[in-house]
Structure 1
Amino acid sequence: MDDPAPPRVLVIEDAEAIRVAVESALADAGFSVRSRPDGAELEGELVRTRPDLVVLDVLLPGRDGFELLRVIRRTSAAGVVMLTARDGVEDRLRGLGEGADDYVVKPFVLAELVARVTAVLRRTGRTRPAVEVGDLVIDVEGGRARYGDADVELTSTEWKVLLYFAQHRDRVVSKTQVLTAVWGYGDSAPNLVEVNVSTLRRKLEAHGPRVLHTVRGQGYVLRGEP
């Protein structure tokens, strides 16, 4: 299956640590990502990059996220996922009412944000095809996995773990990286990863050869060859 050009995502977030983490997570998931610390040049950025989706913080220096959302809706068909530290229902309803496609409250888990971005792109018809690893097909859009002729029944956590490996196909990822992406912390409870990987591997191997490999001293890698 040939991959089309990856969806373009523009991240507007003034907190550098969050901006860098979001940009990295989206890039690792296969998106083409640009980022800015504010909306000072939003109009020009929309013309230059023609993003498929904008990840937009609400509390920004200068024009806030709601004002920038109105600019986007006047000039672009891009999807919009808003980020905010405000968890009040009124703020969320305001953002959605003014045209945002989804609303993520800080603090958030990066894997969840990637899933939300993917879901919005799916609704706008701009997602990439499923990830294929040998006979294993991971349907990112549909939220399911199929190995050969059989559907693989997974819990929600097992799916998140598999999705993270799919987003990093052919790359070794550590237990800490998986913990941070799926559970939101990486300094404790590595056995969570071990238990879920063991169960996930057993379910996959019930339908075909091993594709989720352990790399001693480093972590795990999802690939079709040993």
Structure 2
Amino acid sequence: MDIRILLVEDDEHICHTVKTFLSEAGYRVDACMDGNDAHQHFLDHRYQLVILDIMLPGMNGHELLREFRKLYNTPVLMLTALSDDINQIKAFDAEADDYVTKPFKMLILLKRVEALLRRSGALSKEIRLGKLTLLPEDFKAIYRGTELPLTLKEFEILMLFVQNKRRTLSHEIILTRVWGYHYDGDGSTVHTHIKNLRAKLPEDMIKTVRGVGYRLETDTLEEDTLEEDPL
């Protein structure tokens, strides 16, 4: 299991305890105790889950969540001592996926982590969206039983669309998520790969949203047959 988690927690004891527990459960955990440091981790690495405190040195958790959502749709679990309604509503309005208050039981935290990873598809051996099946471990895409001849980048782009099936993705988001934050290419790189991917797909399922980016049209895939619940 190669699931990478970012843990942002300024309490040294809690940070060490959670990191150790999740590491023993088989996850790769990067831990930081400062909001500014966490922001740099966002930009430098790809994570399948973020566990985020609110009260932090530097950027606070609410600020980090807003910045993170500009680029990623990765699950974010807020882990904080702030149990009031205002902070919880503020977190969910900023698209947090779960909210756990301290004190908490480690086993319950683990189960919440597993639930978020299952919903995102990170723990699934396959993700099915109607007639389309993705096998993340093998980088394969299968449409009605036939494997599509996709390159690695084309598969990663299609996977990104499936995980964000109701969102329009800009050139910048696709470039950052697939090629990485420090990639020196431009929007033409995305356009070329989208063009090649479209040519290999049996149906016209990737639509251009002029002036914004691209969106996966799930109607062509018979969305009512969805068996996994991606991001």
TM-score, normalization: structure 2?
0.52
Which residue pairs with 2:30 in the alignment?
A: 34
| Distance in 2 separating the partners of 1:102 and 1:53 | 11
Letter in 2 for 1:91: N
Whether 1:102 and 2:98 are equivalent positions in the alignment is yes
What percent of counterpart residues are identical? Answer: 38
CA distance in 2, matches of 1:18, 1:97: 26
Show CA shifts across 1:166-205 (max 9, x none): xxxxxxxxxxxxxxxxxxxxxxxxxxxxxxxxxxxxxxxx
Match of 2:84 among 88, 107, 113: 88
Residue in structure 2 matching 1:17, options 13, 21, 38: 13
* Partner Cα separation in structure 2 for residue 65 and residue 43 of structure 1: 10
Q: Tell me the distance in 2 between the aligned counterparts of 1:79 and 1:35.
A: 16
Runs of 4+ aligned residues of structure 1 deviating over 4 Å after TM superposition are none
Aligned to 2:46: 50
Match in the other structure for 1:70:
66
Q: d(CA) in 2 for partners of 1:39 and 1:19? A: 14
- Check the 8 A contact 2:7/2:15 in 1, yes or no: yes
**Structure 1 CA distance for aligned equivalents of residues 28 and 124 of structure 2:** 12
In 1, the alpha carbon distance for the partners of 2:113 and 2:49 equals 8
Over residues 40-85 of structure 1, what are the superposed CA-to-partner deviations in whole Å (9 max), with x where a residue is unaligned?
Answer: 1334312332011100001111211000000110122221000111
1:70-123 CA deviation, whole Å, 9 max, x = no partner?
A: 011012222100011111122111111111000000000011111111111111
The 5 A counterparts of 1:202-221 are none
What RMSD over aligned residues (CA atoms) do the two structures have, in Å? 1.4
Distance in 1 (alpha carbons) for counterparts of 2:19 and 2:35: 16
1:214: which partner in 2?
none
Contact 1:7 1:128 in 2 (8 A): no
Query: Cα 1:37–1:110, aligned 2, differ >3 Å: closer, same or farther?
Result: same
CA displacement at 1:128 relative to structure 2 = 5.6
Is contact 1:40–1:62 with CA below 8 Å preserved after alignment? yes
Mapped contact 1:84–1:105 kept (Cα < 8 A): yes
Residue 78 of structure 2 contacts residue 98 of structure 2 at CA under 8 Å; is this kept in 1?
yes
Whether the aligned pair in 2 keeps the contact of 1:121 and 1:127 (CA below 8 Å) is yes
Q: How many residues align?
A: 125
Deviating more after overlay: 38-47 vs 119-128: 38-47
